[in-house]
């Protein structure tokens, strides 16, 4: 029931929601599978998570995308059920359905469940870390192993997920050591760290097999280079230190863009137009170039990154348009489904995104007020409740803030990046309200 409820945007749209990146995730699964199982190698496998592309391949098989939506919905419904059961042991079923009903219609959760992207896996990863560290005793052995598989796949499905999961493990370990918490939770953090490490090792091993050399990111574009040039300090450094710096980017010093997306994805942009040798040099010189820029303009870059972080933290609108490139490429990847996509509300630009954006904005504001009001109350709970609710709050708040920093300061500011995690804030607020209601009824 919960999974079905979460799929209503796709049902309303008459087709799963798509983003331009969705097409590449769908297309990249086949060449990776041929290389792994048939030893038929290709020259190019794409720039996105190959493990995610490979993971959804058995679900769509280039026939239909609805099973991928079903997978997203089942994973989200399962993880949220475990979260509700750990924090609301009384009236769990009623609390669970109320939670999903509110999150589904008041936040972007159901939209990301209906979207063919790894975005929904990020929040499920962070909630999985909460469950494995703070609510381990509420899980059966089967549930624990299922959750371990979800955490592993989610961490391997996007670079941002891997970075944030690593940061969460470091933060939790540091806090538990400072508070001298019990060994079981420190051991649980260590186990989660091993899962994250295995996800990273899987990426390295897959890229080594496909490309002939180990790499965590494969054929990843130089996002940091694009970001620091778009911010300004990278451009200033090249203008004042070329040609003695001898970076490959010095050849483009007179045509550096002011937008990171234009640098990487723009038609005729530096990355798209660079030769294979030049592209390899730009990628190899990324860290030296970034460090050199930071040494030259530390204060300016810190201020600009802080502004980008704040902008990303407060930018969580969500809308997916069916642009011409996506429609054209989709026709080559899933030609039999192209007509159905064209009949969707998304393709006809008939989805009421503005209304739901307004609803979500007010929901987040109200949720922040609820969380602030209940923050002090957590101290009055008996210890077991404080640990569970406090642990959930710590993971959610840390993940939302860290997501804004990693995407806004290190990549680019985009509403979709923060929208994919912002529904965790209403989740926390609703859990706190339901817990208070349960406690109040018990006292009465």
Residue-wise pLDDT for 1-40, tens only, equals: 999 999 999 999 999 999 999 999 999 999 999 999 999 9
State what percent of residues in the chain have pLDDT above 70.
96
Mean pLDDT within 267-296? 87
* Cβ atoms within 10 Å of 96's Cβ, excluding its own: 20
pLDDT of residue 25: 93
pLDDT tens digits for range 64-88: 999 999 999 999 999 999 999 999 8
| pLDDT (0 to 100) of residue 116 | 96
Q: How far apart are CA 375 and CA 145, in angstroms?
A: 32
Distance CA 121, CA 76 (A): 8
pLDDT of 378 above 90: no
User: Is the confidence at residue 441, as pLDDT, over 70?
Assistant: no
pLDDT for position 275: 84
Which stretches within 259-337 are classed as H helix? 260-265, 270-273, 276-284, 286-296, 298-313, 324-333
Q: What is the mean pLDDT of the chain?
A: 90
For range 312-329, the mean pLDDT: 88
Split at pLDDT 50, 70, 90, the class of 91 is: confident
Provide φ and ψ at 143, rounded to 5°.
-65, -40
User: For residue 20, how many other CB atoms are within 10 A of its CB?
Assistant: 16
Residue 370 near residue 433, CB atoms below 8 Å: yes
The tokens of 435 are what? 């817990």
pTM over 0.95: no
Q: Residue 380: which pLDDT band, with cuts at 50, 70 and 90?
A: low
Residues pairing with 17 in the sheet: 115
Per-residue pLDDT reduced to its tens digit, 170-220:
999 998 888 765 778 889 999 999 999 999 999 999 989 998 888 877 778
Within 8 A by CB and 6+ apart from 90, the residues are 438, 442
pLDDT band, very low/low/confident/very high, at 377 (cuts 50, 70, 90): low
- Mean pLDDT value of segment 330-338: 93
203: Cα separation from own chain's centroid: 17
Q: Please answer whether residues 128 and 81 qualify as being in contact, where contact means their C-beta atoms are separated by less than 8 angstroms.
A: no
Q: Do residues 29 and 56 lie in contact, with contact meaning Cβ atoms separated by under 8 Å?
A: yes
**Residue 273: predicted pLDDT:** 83
- Of the chain, the percentage scoring pLDDT greater than 90 comes to 63
Does residue 443 have a pLDDT over 70?
no
- pLDDT value of position 381: 53
DSSP string, 96-137: HHHHHHHHHHHSSHHHHHTBSSGGGHHHHHHHHHHHHHHSGG
Q: Is the peptide bond before 109 cis (omega within 30 degrees of 0)?
A: no
- Residues in Cβ contact with 124 at an 8 Å cutoff, skipping those fewer than 6 apart: 75, 76, 79, 150, 154
Q: What is the DSSP letter of 322?
A: -
Q: What are residue 115's DSSP bridge partners? A: 17
- More confident of the two residues 263 and 423: 423
DSSP, collapsed to helix, strand or coil, labels residue 17 as strand
- In the predicted model, what is the mean pLDDT of residues 323-342? 92
Question: And the tokens for 40?
Answer: 């038929």
């Amino acid at each position: 029931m919960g999974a079905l409820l979460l799929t209503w945007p796709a049902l309303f749209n008459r087709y799963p929601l798509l983003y331009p990146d969705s097409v590449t995730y769908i297309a990249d699964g086949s060449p990776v599978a041929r290389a792994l199982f048939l030893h038929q190698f290709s020259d190019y496998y794409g720039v996105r998570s190959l493990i995610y592309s490979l993971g959804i391949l058995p679900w769509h098989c280039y026939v239909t995308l609805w099973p991928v939506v079903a997978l997203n919905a089942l994973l989200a419904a399962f993880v949220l059920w475990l979260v509700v059961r750990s924090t609301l042991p009384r009236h769990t079923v009623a609390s669970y359905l109320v939670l999903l009903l509110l999150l589904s219609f008041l936040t972007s959760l159901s939209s990301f469940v209906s979207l063919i992207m790894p975005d929904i896996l990020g929040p499920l990863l962070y909630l999985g870390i909460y469950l494995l560290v703070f609510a381990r005793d509420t899980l059966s052995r089967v549930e624990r192993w299922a959750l371990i598989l979800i955490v592993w796949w989610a961490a391997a499905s996007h670079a941002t997920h891997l970075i944030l999961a690593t940061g969460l493990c470091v933060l939790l370990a540091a806090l538990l050591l400072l508070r001298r918490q019990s060994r079981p939770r420190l051991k649980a953090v260590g186990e989660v760290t091993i899962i994250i490490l295995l996800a990273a090792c899987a990426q390295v091993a897959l890229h080594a097999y496909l490309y002939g050399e180990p790499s965590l990111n494969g054929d990843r574009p130089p996002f940091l280079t694009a970001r620091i040039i778009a911010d300004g300090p990278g451009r200033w450094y090249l203008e004042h230190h070329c040609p003695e710096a001898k970076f490959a980017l010095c050849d483009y010093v007179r045509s550096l863009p002011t937008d990171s997306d234009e640098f990487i994805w723009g038609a005729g942009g530096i990355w798209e137009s660079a030769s294979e040798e030049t592209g390899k040099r730009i990628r190899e010189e990324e860290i030296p170039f970034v460090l050199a820029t930071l040494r030259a303009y530390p204060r300016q870059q810190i201020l600009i990154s802080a502004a980008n972080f704040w902008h990303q933290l407060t930018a969580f609108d969500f809308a997916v348009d069916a642009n011409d490139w996506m429609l054209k490429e989709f026709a080559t990847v899933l030609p039999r489904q192209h007509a159905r996509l064209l009949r969707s509300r998304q393709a006809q630009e008939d989805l009421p995104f503005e209304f739901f954006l307004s609803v979500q904005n007010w929901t987040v504001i109200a949720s922040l007020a609820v969380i602030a009001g209940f923050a002090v109350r957590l101290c009055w709970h008996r210890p077991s409740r404080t640990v569970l609710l406090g642990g959930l709050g710590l993971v959610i708040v840390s993940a939302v803030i860290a997501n804004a920093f990693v995407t806004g300061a290190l990549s680019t500011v985009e509403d979709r990046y923060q929208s994919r995690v912002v529904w965790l804030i209403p989740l926390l607020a609703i859990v706190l309200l339901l817990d208070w209601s349960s406690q109040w009824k018990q006292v009465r």
